[in-house]
A and B are shown apart, each in its own frame.
Chain A
């Protein structure tokens, strides 16, 4: 079955380290999104991509970067991890062929920065 996966599911890292979170979808969706979810803030958009080689900043993009070299993957990189980036990270995708409005989420990555 087609799906969206994230790895790792849990990660503990130290302040200042570079961290990359993986997102892989087999739906062949053009659109992919990264969110973080924190108590009191809900889901906030970090970066998104509407296709290969396309990347865009969301509302909380500082300290994060993404690259889109193929349709299936959108890795999220924390350049120098900070304690404020401790959060649960969700990847999502949507299909341009059906309007691109409905987003489907991966299982999430819980990141702790110590």
Chain B
């Protein structure tokens, strides 16, 4: 079982719709959770972080965390073509002297006109 699992997609949604991206993780000791956006040929860009159960909203983005179910999701409202990218879920655990991230393989999102 992979430590962080994501559906690779592609997930296709029409412009203006809500895109829902999901991620599950296996390590119950994980403490912090992140979503990165990566455009083709570019580096990952941090767009959301969430540390406690529930929802966290930032503009059109909402991150949801359910530690009991070991589940993290990212909702993108009013999806735009510029949201077309690969979204990486990352899970943090405090080990030894510091924090380390484990990444999922990413979900490709395509927003269609």
Point out residues on A near B: beta carbons under 8 Å. 31, 33, 35, 40-45, 48, 50, 54, 56, 58, 90, 94, 96, 99-108
Interface residues, chain B, CB within 8 Å of chain A? 31-32, 34, 36, 42-46, 49, 88, 90, 92, 96-106
For A58, A100, A106, the residue with the greatest tally of chain B CB atoms inside 10 Å of its CB is: A100
Cβ contacts A to B, 30 pairs, < 8 Å:
A31-B98, A33-B100, A33-B101, A35-B103, A40-B105, A41-B105, A42-B103, A42-B104, A42-B106, A45-B100, A45-B102, A48-B98, A48-B100, A50-B97, A56-B97, A90-B43, A96-B98, A101-B34, A101-B49, A101-B92, A101-B99, A102-B34, A103-B34, A103-B90, A104-B46, A105-B36, A105-B43, A106-B43, A107-B42, A108-B43
Distance between Cα atoms of A42 and B49 in the complex (Å) = 19
